[in-house]
Homo-oligomer: A and B are copies of this chain.
Amino acid sequence: MERKLTAILCADVFGYSRLMGEHEEATLRTLTSYRRLIDGLVHHHRGRFVNSAGDSVVAEFASVVDAVQCAVVIQTTLRAENANLPPDQRMEFRIGVNLGDVMVEGEQIYGDGVNVAARLESLADPGGICVSGTVCEHLGNRLALSYEDLGEQSVTSIAKPVRVFRVLPDTRAAEATAAGTKAQ
Partner-B contacts on A (CB < 8 A): 1, 15-18, 20-22, 24-25, 28-29, 31-32, 51-54, 56, 58, 103, 105, 110-112, 114-115, 118, 155-159
Contact = CB atoms under 8 A, between A and B. Distances in A.
A52 B54 contact: no
A25 B157 contact: no
Could you say how many copies of this chain the assembly holds? 2
A114 B18 contact: no
Contacts of A112: 17, 20-21, 24
B103 A21 contact: no
Given A51-B53, A53-B58, A115-B20, A157 B28 contact: no
A118 to B, nearest CB: 8
Contacts of A29: 1
